[in-house]
Structure 1
């Protein structure tokens, strides 16, 4: 079947890409702080909660200037702009194929979100690996293309797919849980709110609730994913053992606050912008 710019899936891709661009630019500093917290050496005590975040924030600004908080934004854009587009176009296509105009139930919404994230996650994993390495501060890559070339030459192409299992264990449940809670929370809104000018704010609030729940449930997998991608010689099981031996159970929740803030705000903004744009062009999201 021939696709054109007028095809609904292409429109969904474009709406998703724009929403991902806005949220990535705004919340990249939180992702960098999360990665730095998760990759602190065992001899360094990051503190907990807000103290840990503030300590890392001040350290980055002091040593790398204010723009250092946006280190890794280039691979984030390379990953997010097509990645979120792929996610939303896959979500839209799956929904149209299996549900047509029906509203998905809790399980259907979870499966739609999980399926869309699986496709986008596998496709964009090489850039995710590079993004994580940019943010951790241990690698001196100058560009995304240079980083991809360097990894292929020194570690082999397989290194670009390091952490695949941990990434899917983090992202697929996150998306499934998020879409399930988000769709169900929206379904409980009174009709007068859903059709009023305040609908975007109400949808954003539903997204915040869904994002917090999904982020906390999937935080351990995010920590494991970060360690595997920064240290590609580690397998997933070895990374789990290392984190537990070095930091105990609390090690699996390092960076939980900045990640929850970022993922929650990014997802809520992305879905709100996506749905408003889809409605603007006359498509049902």
Structure 2
């Protein structure tokens, strides 16, 4: 079946998957650095901001070579290609059902983004757990499916859903907040800009602003999620106490710079590519 003849939701899935593939390949090193910062890999005592990022980057390149920065890219692909496709197809379907033919309001945008992320987040959580373990450097898994099998055999299938609460507390608000800021700032653009050849660049700028705000608001939940998935014996409440006891309030913002960069650029690129592909297929995203 040609893509042009496929149902709109399938087109949205394909466009989302392609946009997710591009953004994952480009920004995987930032995700690895974020995970290493949050888990204090290798006894490092990274500070916050640029110094911590540089220290981790140098350590990874020195001990694992340049390609070590893309460690975990396989589970990232396994998660992102279907995951972003599920997200955008769910978002498109919800939007068509509830706000067809008009621009969503601020609250509607939050609910659309949150609903789509909830579905994608729950479905893809097992791969998210494996991706986090690949990146932290504490596990020596050889492949994604081998890791899935190993976790099921040694820890039980429930371990693949560790950090579910923290993940949803991170991803659902992020997506809702991102979609709200993105849709509202894009709608406020002058018509001569939104209909011109510079529209993709303007939309990209709106996405950057939305991504930074959403990333900073949800950063504490990301730190908790990482600790729970790397240390499955920890529950969410225990992880909260551990982070606060060991690092204080600033511990909840460890890795904020690389995560903000990655999440902002990934979300912005994904939405920009998705909207351009959907437009070429004659669909309103």
**TM-score when normalising by structure 2:** 0.98
User: Which residue in the other structure is 1:270 paired with?
Assistant: 270
Question: Offset of 1:41 from its aligned partner?
Answer: 6.1
Does structure 1 conserve the Cα–Cα contact (< 8 Å) formed by 2:113 and 2:179?
A: yes
CA offset digits 1:169-219 (Å, max 9, x no partner): 000000000000000000110001001010000000000000000000000
Alpha-carbon distance in structure 2 between the residues aligned to 1:158 and 1:231 = 13
CA distance in 1, matches of 2:93, 2:109: 13
Matched, 1:27 2:3: no
How far, CA to CA, are the matches of 1:217 and 1:42 in structure 2? Answer: 28
Superposition map of 1:71-110 within 5 A: 71-110=71-110
Question: C-alpha separation between the residues in 2 aligned to 1:81 and 1:139?
Answer: 24
Determine the structure 2 residue equivalent to 1:248. 248
Q: Structure 1 residue 44: deviation in Å?
A: 3.9
2:61 aligned partner: 61
Counterpart position of 2:123: 123
Mapped contact 2:151–2:160 kept (Cα < 8 A) = yes
> 1:150 maps to which residue?
150
TM-score, normalised to structure 1, is 0.98
1:164 to 2:170 alignment: no
Q: Quick one: distance in 1 between partners of 2:57 and 2:211?
A: 23
- In structure 2, what is the Cα distance between the partners aligned to 1:174 and 1:276? 23
* Runs of 4+ off more than 6 Å: none
Maintained 8 Å contact 2:41/2:136? no
Pairs aligned (count): 282
1:131-142 matched pairs, under 5 angstroms: 131-142=131-142
Residue 244 of structure 2 is aligned to residue 211 of structure 1: no
Whether the aligned pair in 1 keeps the contact of 2:207 and 2:264 (CA below 8 Å) is yes
* Runs (5+) with no aligned partner, structure 2: none
Distance 1:71 1:49 in 2: 22
**8 Å Cα contact 2:41/2:137 also seen in 1:** no
Matched, 1:281 2:277: no
- Taking the aligned partners of 1:199 and 1:5, their CA distance within structure 2 comes to 27
**Contact (CA 8 Å) 1:28, 1:73: kept in 2 or not?**
yes
Deviation, 1:48, is 1.8
Give the corresponding residue for 1:113: 113
Determine the C-alpha separation between the residues in 1 that align with 2:130 and 2:5: 30
Deviations 1:54-112 (A, max 9, x none): 00000000000000000000000000000000000000000001111111000000100
Contact kept? 1:174, 1:214, Cα under 8 Å: yes
Structure 1, gaps ≥5 residues long:
none
User: Aligned residue for 1:45?
Assistant: 45
